[in-house]
A = this chain, B = another copy of it.
């Protein structure tokens, strides 16, 4: 029996009592600040239609690759977790069966951030004071399902209860943004802004690249088959995104490579990419050039550039073949920034009014490359610990490795990077606790005065994200 189970109010604070006391005081200053979520992957339709979220399995498990990946890694077939197959073949359809399987394997999440996020939601959003286990799987499911049917669990009600001030989605350049429009037109006070993620139209290796470029031309009335028309079309879509509230772009290239080629070379690469005859090196060079082009366009339209490099996408042939893209099998790889970014920085590194936010999955770059680069170039800022590192230990390593060289003000606070809407406050809460713990340690070891730590805690939890993303 584990009733009356709860999460400790001091969780994630340093164990030393003196330092913990400081962390508590700092956290009290930030825990109720509004949530600014400048980079995420929730579905804009949810806000437009004020959806009621579906059953617990569909809500918590099937779309959360942090969770089903861990179970899969220990031998649970993805089919048994209800992950849809590419070929439409049979997968488990009973949400209760999926939930039971999850509860039986819940121990696999011990020590992971997923576990902490889930428990935060179960306890603080659904009010269930138990730890999930096989024995209470059914009653857990029932209680979750019952609450999900209540009006206060609809999307807009949760947005308000969560004290979200603004949330960004991530969208294809070909997206109609109809849901963002619908939110704007609805008169609802929530702020849901799109983010321009042009990978489908700027990465020659993206599925359907040529067709995507053709669609881009149709959408904008530009001759997207010519290099100049293509650039105009992209600029037009950026303007369209901006007209619906976008303040940023996002780029998920395999590397951080940038280039600064002359127009004829660009033209040549573009046509090879369109014809599908670009070599891997040419495709990489084209992506590199397009990063620089995106930065150049930001000089005109003011969109903030986010670069998320270094993920080997869809590493598992088996998962990719049977379940498709984006099923938790993306693996980080070594990432160079120092040489990769130089062409872009040579051209734009000292521009006024330009912001380029760098993320990494290669922690060895934090202190060696990223903090030094952000510590010198005015256009650069460092995004928070991302993806495999958006965890208590990962976020602490990030602060410990970047602060002394880049300071606090070359970082951009926290973003949740999630499609798991229900867990957004849980994720921000973890980040706020970790940052307060880091600051508390600096105060306890007399590297920072406590009045400064209070100011910084508020910057890290709220202000820096608003400022960096121009929200």
Contacts and interface: CB of A to CB of B under 8 A. Distances in A.
Interface in A84-101: none
A369 B362 CA distance: 9
Copy number of this protein in the oligomer? 3
Size class of A's contact patch? 35 or more
Contact of A331 (B362, B369, B446): B369
A147 interface: no
B378 A111 contact: no
A336 B334 contact: yes
Contact of A448 (B110, B319, B442): B110
Interface stretch (A241-249, A269-277, A338-346): A338-346
Contact of A407 (B15, B108, B407, B449): B108
Contacts of A394: 367, 404
Given A131-B449, A312-B338, A316-B377, A73 B410 contact: yes
B315 A375 contact: no
A403 interface: yes
A388 interface: yes
B11 A378 contact: no
A329 interface: yes
Nearest to A321: B346
Interface in A400-448: 400-401, 403-410, 441-442, 444-448
Interface in A23-73: 69-70, 72-73
B373 A456 contact: no
Interface in A323-362: 328-329, 331-334, 336, 338-339, 342, 345-346, 349-350, 352, 361-362
Contacts of A403: 111-112, 393
A298 interface: no
A363 interface: yes
Interface in A360-380: 361-364, 367-369, 371-378, 380
Contacts of A389: 367
29 contacts: A8-B446, A10-B446, A14-B15, A15-B19, A15-B441, A17-B18, A72-B376, A72-B378, A73-B375, A73-B376, A73-B378, A73-B406, A74-B410, A109-B407, A111-B408, A111-B442, A131-B449, A312-B339, A315-B342, A315-B345, A316-B350, A331-B338, A331-B376, A332-B369, A333-B336, A363-B364, A364-B364, A392-B447, A393-B401
Shortest Cβ-Cβ A-B pairs, 5 listed = A11-B446, A8-B446, A391-B404, A15-B444, A317-B346
